[in-house]
Amino acid sequence: MAMAMYPGIQAKAQAEIDGTIGSRLPRISDWDSLSYVRCVMKEVLRWKLTLPLAVPHACTQDDMYKGYYIPKGAIVIGNSWAISNNPAVYPDPDRFDPDRFLDPAVPDAPAFGYGRRICPGIHHADATMFLTMASIISVFNIRPPVDVEGRPRPMKADIAMDEAVSSIASSFLGTLAAPTNSTLFPRQLAQVITKCTVPNTVALTFDDGPYLYTYEISERILQAGGKATFFVNGNNYQCIYHPDNVNRIKYLYEKGHQIGSHTWGHKDLTTLTWDQVHDEMWRVEQALMRIIGANPAYMRPPFGKYNDNVLRASAVRGQKVAIWDFDSGDSAGISAAASKGRYDDVTARRPSNILTLNHETYEPTAYTDILPHAIAKLQAAGYRMVTLSECLGESPAAAYQSQGPPATGSWSC
């Protein structure tokens, strides 16, 4: 349930497994090296405690505890739920956050009891859960269940927990508990998108922002009745957390443009290790979740370069890799006239659809030359300017793996 609701956390755990042990299945000897997986396990036990109340016990003699008189024979029931949701110990306890257990001072939740009455099989249970969780995460992507039309069903923690408890109860009663939709999908290479599929559409995409010309690009496209897709970096031309860039990202999102990942520092991902690739991806995803509350479903690798390592990492992160079938050439140093000539050529050939590559960091592209010319040519040829997800026949919501409220605070690169 937690992994389906929080794909970014699932991806982080998978990255640790892949980067530490490679393609083999986890072993109990990996306990110390898979520290984040253990944090996930601890948070699962804390976040939705299986037994919210401890097993009742009776006092064998009169007792005083912190000023309370407890007579002999009184039934004492520990409130494990209250302990696990104590905000003084676990800030924002309703939030699923394995990172809280990276601090060794944070105590484990009392899933197995406490004191002298703690479960004697706790170590066996921990080892079994560790191997089970780590093995499932290493082999599968866990996603929300889907409805009859294949659309993800919204998940809420309380509802999902109720369904899980009902399923367990059915199993104990001898009834086969068979969910209508599996949430386990074998891990594989990410899908590479090189062209649109919907006829008469064009996806205008812009890389390397946010930058000085974000507003101008957006307004020109909006005034023409279209939408665009912006693949943003975290720290390329300027830090994404700069107030101006935060405002640009929020503006694009509010206007209905699609925002995708272009990684953190615009590095050639094919030259990086597994861990370095995930770091480049994770940091910009984290920034977007902080700024707009959305985790992008599409990633464009810098320079359009990728290999199997990059595709595996993208798949782990639940993302598709977006390339293009038309390059305006604006980043290659060609003149504005040459870029306009490329738009003249493609509209004259009139393919069914076009997936473009542009860069919002070039002033001629932004508003002095190329974009106005491109919009006029594309509209005259009968193309609709839509987002990448829409040109693939998906709903606008499919642009993101998850959407929720943004975070509050300030951050730096």
Which among 316, 2, 5 is positioned nearest to 187, based on CA atoms?
316
Contacts of 42 (CB under 8 A, 6+ apart): 98, 101, 108, 109
3-state class of 357 per DSSP?
strand
Contacts of 262 (CB under 8 A, 6+ apart): 207, 208, 231, 232, 233, 236, 284, 299, 300, 302
Whether 344 is a known active-site residue: answer no
How many other C-beta atoms lie within 10 A of the C-beta of residue 11? 26
Helices and strands (H and E) in the chain: how many: 14, 18
Which residue type does 116 have?
R
For residue 252, what is the enclosing H or E element?
A: helix 243-254
Structure tokens at 79: 């409130």
Structure tokens at 93: 């306890």
Do the annotations mark residue 196 as ligand-binding?
Answer: no
Identify whether the C-beta of residue 15 lies closer than 8 Å to the C-beta of residue 277. Answer: no
Structure tokens at 408: 């509050």
DSSP string over 174-202:
T-----SS--EEE--PPPEE-S--STTEE
How many other C-beta atoms lie within 10 A of the C-beta of residue 39? 22
Residue located via tokens 């659309």: 151
Residue located via tokens 């977006």: 322
Q: How many whole angstroms from its chain centre is CA 63?
A: 51
Name the active-site residue from 257, 262, 278, 359. Answer: 359
Whether 359 is a known active-site residue: answer yes
Q: State the alpha helices, DSSP H only, in 296-349.
A: 308-316, 336-349
Q: Considering just the CA atoms, what is the radius of gyration of the chain in Å?
A: 26
3-state class of 371 per DSSP?
helix
Is 371 exposed, middle or buried (CB count within 10 Å of its CB: 0-12, 13-18, 19+)?
Answer: buried
3-state class of 33 per DSSP?
coil
Name the active-site residue from 207, 208, 330, 369. Answer: 207
> Which residues are documented as binding site for heme?
119
Residues classed as catalytic? 207, 359
Numbered residues of the known binding site: 119
